[in-house]
Amino acid sequence: MERVEAIRRDFPTLARKIGDNDLVYLDSGATSQKPAVVIETMDDYYRRYNANVHRGAHTLSEEATNAYENARLRIARFINAPSDKQIIFTRGTTESVNLVANAWGRANLGPGDEVLITEMEHHSNIVPWQMLRDELGFILRYVPITDQGRLDLEHLPDLLTARTKLFAFVHVSNVLGTINPARELIEAAHAVGAKVLIDGAQSVPHMPVDVQALDVDFLAFSSHKMCGPTGVGILYGKREILESMPPFLGGGDMIRDVSMERSTWNTLPYKFEAGTPPIAEAIGLGAAVDYLNEVGMKWVHAHERELVAYAFEQLSQVEGLRILGPGPDERGGLVAFVMEGVHHHDLAAIVDQDGIAVRAGHHCAQPLHEHYGISGSARASLYLYNTRQEIDKLRASLEKAQRILAF
C-alpha cells in the first residue's frame, strides 16, 4: 500500500476533486494518467531545445534528434526488440494497424487469400481489413468467442489454413479483459505460413511483453495507455518484413533521393516516418518507458492481478450486475459489466457524481457486444496507481445507482 501511495503522488491529476469527492480514476483502458516526469520532460523539450529532428546541424536540432532517437532505443529495449530500427513511430495503435494493412497488405493480399481476425477485436483491427478486403478481394474470416469470453479455439484448425496470409488478434481484450494465448496462436499461424499482427494496446502497458520470445511479426501499441502522451504509438516489425514493405506515406524524411521522374526510399525505420514526427510526444513516451521500468512491469502486472481479483469479487456481489468475460485468473486489469434495468451511460453518469470515472459505450467493439445481445457496457479499467479502497467506492456507488435507477 505504501508503494501505491508513493506512485499516486507521481500523478498530478489524481490529486483532483470532482465536486466534493476525491477523483477515482478507473478509465486507464481508454487513456492512462501521466506522471509528472513525463509532463516535465515534454515541457523541457519545448522550453529548451524545441527544433525539428534529422533536419539541421545546429545545436537544438542535434539535441532534439538525440532525445528522439534515444526514446526509440529505450522503447526497443522495453519490448526486447532486436534493434531500434524495428521501432516505427506512428500516431497510435490504430495507425500502426493501418500501416500494416496498407503497406504489407497491399503488397501481399489478393483474391483467394485470407486474413483471420477475432470476434473480440477493437474496431481498429477490423475496419482497416474490411476496407482493404473490399478493394483487393481477399476473404476476411474471424475466430468466434464463447459466452465465457474466450476465443473458441476448437474452430482454429478450420480457420487457420494455407490460404491464411495474416492472423491479426488482440493480446488482451479491451472489453472482456481476456488474455489470449499469444504464443500458442503465433505458433499455429506460423505453422501454416501466416504472418501475425498483435494488437498490444491493452497488454504492453500492463505486463512484460517480449517480441522475441513471442516470435511475433508485428506488434502495435499506444503511448497514451502506458503513462505517455497522446498522439504517438509504435509499430514493431521483424526487420526482413519491414524491409520488404513499400512505404505507407510519402513526403519528407522517408526518402533517399527524389527527382522529377522517381524516388528511392530511406532505410528503416525512417521509410515509414514521413514528415515531421511527433517529437515531443516520442520523447515523452521515452520518459514513460523509463518510469514504468523503474516501477517494474512484473510488479505492475502482479498489482493489477490482485486488484482485478478483488474487483471481480466485490462487483459480483452487486445486485443485478453481470460481469462480461472470464474469471479473474484469465483477464487483465479491467472489468466490463452491465446492470439489469440500467443503461450503461446512466450508470457512468451516476458514479461520476461520486467522483468515479468509468467508461460507457461499446468501447469500439460493437461485434463483441452484439455477441452478447447488448448495445454497450460500463467498464472499470485499473492501473498501477489504483487501490482496493477505490474499488470499494465503486461498489458502493454502483449499489446506489442500482437503488436509484433499476426497475
Contact 166, 116 (CB under 8 A): yes
Residue holding cell 474487483? 311
- Measured CA to CA, the distance from residue 328 to residue 331 in angstroms comes to 5
- 248 and 105 in contact (C-beta within 8 Å)? no
Contact 292, 207 (CB under 8 A): no
Residue 321, amino acid: L
The catalytic site residues sit at 364
* HSE-CB of 45 using CA atoms within 13 angstroms: 27
179 Cβ neighbours under 8 A, 6+ residues apart: 171, 172, 203, 330, 331, 332
Element (H, E) at 170: strand 164-170
Distance of CA 75 to the CA centre of its chain: 15
DSSP string of 277-290? Answer: --HHHHHHHHHHHH
Q: How far apart are CA 83 and CA 254, in angstroms?
A: 19
Round to whole Å and give the CA distance between 383 and 381: 7
Identify any residues that bridge with 198 across adjacent strands, giving them in sequence order: 169, 219
Angstrom distance (rounded) from CA 307 to CA 29:
15
CA angle 362, 204, 278 (to 5 degrees): 85
The answer to whether the beta carbons of residues 178 and 325 sit under 8 Å apart is yes
Phi, psi (rounded to 5 degrees) for 362: -95, 0
Which amino acid does the sequence have at 305? Answer: R
CB neighbours of residue 272 within 10 Å: 23
